[in-house]
Amino acid sequence: MAGYDVVLRDVTPEALERGLGTIRSSYAKFVDKGRLTAEASEAALGRITTTTELDAVADADLVVEAVFEKLEVKAEVFRELDRLCKDGAVLASNTSAIPITSIAAVTSRPESVVGTHFFSPVPMMKLCEVVRGYKTSDSAIEAARRSPRAWARRWSW
């Protein structure tokens, strides 16, 4: 909604369609309530690209991981993100229970790892808790603070 190009990634085309369907449904509710024009909704949907390929993260400035709350799974994802993402990319986890420092420890760039705990439902709850790990840099925190609402759905697993 803030004008960003968004890439939504999931493991199967079916999962991607479910995710995109949820976004479409949410936008339709905003249009029905007069909080969003149909044109703005279509424009926002037009900025979303879907993929099953993880290497699509290569040029991202910010990646938000949203797998389930299991350190082993998050660690596997962050090892891959560390390998694939460009230097300077902020790697964010949507964890609410796992310490960010534990997730950051599996990367070669713990200074670039932050927590972004979104409150549900994301389109209605305009709140995102930004969590610093022990080695998270000020610049990574600042990047996460710029406008969390704007990129709440920027990347998803």
DSSP-assigned states of every residue in 23-86: HHHHHHHHHHTTSS-HHHHHHHHHTEEEES-GGGGGG-SEEEE---S-HHHHHHHHHHHHHHSP
Active-site hit among 117, 132, 135, 149: 117
Whether residue 57 contacts residue 84, with contact meaning beta carbons closer than 8 Å, is answered with: yes
Residue 61: CA count within 13 A, CB half-sphere:
10
Cα 154 to Cα 29, 82, 106, distances in angstroms: 20, 18, 23
Cα 9 to Cα 5, 12, 18, 77, 137, distances in angstroms: 13, 9, 12, 12, 26
Verify whether residue 112 is a known catalytic residue.
Answer: no
Q: Which residues pair with 6 in a beta bridge?
A: 48
Provide the annotated active-site residues: 117
